[in-house]
Amino acid sequence: MGESLKIGITCYPSLGGSGVVATELGKLLAEKGHQVHFITHSIPFRLGDFQKNIFYHEVEVNDYYVFRYPPYDLSLASKMAQVAQMQQLDILHVHYAVPHAVCAYLAKQMIGDHPLKVVTTLHGTDITVLAQDESLKDLIRLAINKSDAVTAVSKDLIRETHELLDITKDIDLTYNFVDKRVYYPRETKTLRQEFALPNEKILMHISNFRPVKRVGDVVDIFAKVQSKVPARLLLVGEGPDLPKIQSKIREMGIEDRVVFLGKQNDVAQVISMADLLLLPSEKESFGLVALEAMACGVPTIGSLAGGIPELVTHGETGFLAEIGHTTEMADAALKLLTDPQLMERFKQNCLDRAHHVFCNDLITAEYEKIYYRVLGRP
Ligand code: GMT
């Protein structure tokens, strides 16, 4: 390993995949001897127990009566500058262009001569949604162009960023990863009995129930599957589409087949219960949950959206179909569920691919390489 660095990390501490990736990366960097400073509005939910080399700096927002909206972004930029100077940070690694990379740029201006380098990781929504908004496009372009390095979580997201923002800057590919000490097939015999009979298959969907996840398609796929094979659907997570999905399930008369588990922290344990994961998203820059499933030996049935095909190898670790093609997805699910040998082969492929291609050691080393490169310390 090269010399140890002082790294600031800013992410959305309570939001899905990007927060998980940022937090897990920070923990792994700290384990490798780097000093990691989280600069966020609350403690990242995956931070866990006290760990040497990890520090947390809370961003407090000034709520003066003259402000109609409390200026979180300005408080964050000030805090970044303060921590960078006080701790002599080498790197500020921000997850999401808006507002985090913009704040990092501002912080860099504030601290003048201090040689801070900014690395920005794009996770998807900042590009696939925000960059479509003309009023934000120039701001996102500025944030990207002013970063010392930019990474994105799939080739598809890199392509889309270049296309939508018309920028020429090189973007490094840094896939999502899983910690193989946490994500492996867990023993679930007893737990499974709580949700399904021994002859029943378990299909699972985990998300934040945003429209982009197409949870309605999950229900349609499941309905077709369970008409041929005894099965249960376990839905994990909460979000805006949840009430609509509950009604749909009631209207289809399959409520006795579906269990809502709400938000769950121990994803590896929960996911290990499943025979298949369903991920039929409209957009998905990578699909961390499919990787978490893969690492637990669970194949994915999903859509050919965004970066999903870079993660799930069609015909080896799952099956993919065009967005909205639920019949094709249900047929693919049935093919796997009714062929134990094929399922076993897919499970093995999943474990191999997750633990060799997307493992924590590899991806952490890629991020470190980028840090040393921007610091001119190869
Ligand atoms: O999927 C979400 O709605 C959450 C979102 C986020 O911002 O945390 O996830 C995005 O980043 C993850 C980590 O890089 C990716 O694995 C997800 O695919 C990506 N979500 C979308 O592109 C919709």
**How high is the pLDDT of residue 16?**
83
16 CA distance to ligand 1 middle (Å): 7
**How high is the pLDDT of residue 46?**
76
**How high is the pLDDT of residue 329?**
98
Q: What is the CATH number of the domain that holds 287?
A: 3.40.50.2000
Percentage, residues of the chain above pLDDT 90: 83
As a whole number, mean pLDDT of residues 12-31 equals: 90
- Do residue 234 and residue 101 come from a single domain? no
> Is the distance from the beta carbon of residue 289 to the nearest atom of ligand 1 less than 6 Å?
no
114 CA distance to ligand 1 middle (Å): 33
Q: Is 324 part of any domain? A: yes
- Tell me the β-bridge partners of 37: 8, 55
- Do residue 163 and residue 242 come from a single domain? no
Q: What is the mean pLDDT of the chain?
A: 94
- Do residue 102 and residue 248 come from a single domain? no
Percentage, residues of the chain above pLDDT 70: 99
Query: Is residue 1 pLDDT above 70, yes or no?
Result: no
- Do residue 209 and residue 170 come from a single domain? no
Q: What residue owns the CA closest to ligand 1's atom 2? A: 16
Q: What residue owns the CA closest to ligand 1's atom 21? A: 284
Q: CB under 8 Å to 245, separation ≥6 — which residues? A: 209, 215, 216, 219, 235
- Do residue 117 and residue 201 come from a single domain? no
Q: Is the pTM of this model over 0.90?
A: yes
> Is the distance from the beta carbon of residue 299 to the nearest atom of ligand 1 less than 6 Å?
no
Give residue 368's domain range: 6-177+359-374
3-state secondary structure the chain: CCCCCEEEEECCCCCHHHHHHHHHHHHHHHHCCCEEEEEECCCCCCCCCCCCCEEEEECCCCCCCCCCCCCHHHHHHHHHHHHHHHHCCCEEEEECHHHHHHHHHHHHHHHCCCCCEEEEEECCHHHHCHHHCHHHHHHHHHHHHHCCEEEECCHHHHHHHHHHHCCCCCCEECCCCECCCCCCCCCCHHHHHHHCCCCCEEEEEECCCCHHHCHHHHHHHHHHHHCCCCEEEEEECCCCCHHHHHHHHHHCCCHHHEEEEECCCCHHHHHCCCCEEEECCCCCCCCHHHHHHHHCCCCEEEECCCCHHHHCCECCCEEEECCCCHHHHHHHHHHHHCCHHHHHHHHHHHHHHHHHHCEHHHHHHHHHHHHHHHCCCC
Closest by Cα among 136, 68, 138, 146 to 107: 146
Query: Is residue 5 pLDDT above 80, yes or no?
Result: yes
What pLDDT band is residue 128 in, cutting at 50, 70 and 90?
confident
The string of pLDDT tens digits covering residues 337-349 is 999 999 999 999 9
- Do residue 363 and residue 223 come from a single domain? no
**How high is the pLDDT of residue 43?**
85
- Do residue 193 and residue 290 come from a single domain? yes
How many structural domains does the chain have? 2
- Do residue 345 and residue 220 come from a single domain? yes
- Do residue 223 and residue 296 come from a single domain? yes
The string of pLDDT tens digits covering residues 241-300 is 999 999 999 999 999 999 999 999 899 999 999 999 999 999 999 999 999 999 999 999
> Is the distance from the beta carbon of residue 326 to the nearest atom of ligand 1 less than 6 Å?
no
Q: Is 198 part of any domain? A: yes
Counting from 1 in the atom list of ligand 1, the atom nearest the Cα of 291 is 16
Q: Is 33 part of any domain? A: yes
What pLDDT band is residue 166 in, cutting at 50, 70 and 90?
confident
What pLDDT band is residue 63 in, cutting at 50, 70 and 90?
confident
Query: Is residue 15 pLDDT above 70, yes or no?
Result: no
Q: Is 183 part of any domain? A: no
Query: Is residue 333 pLDDT above 80, yes or no?
Result: yes
**How high is the pLDDT of residue 265?**
87
> Is the distance from the beta carbon of residue 15 to the nearest atom of ligand 1 less than 6 Å?
yes
Cis status, amide bond into 99, omega within 30 of 0: yes
Counting from 1 in the atom list of ligand 1, the atom nearest the Cα of 18 is 8
As a whole number, mean pLDDT of residues 53-71 equals: 85
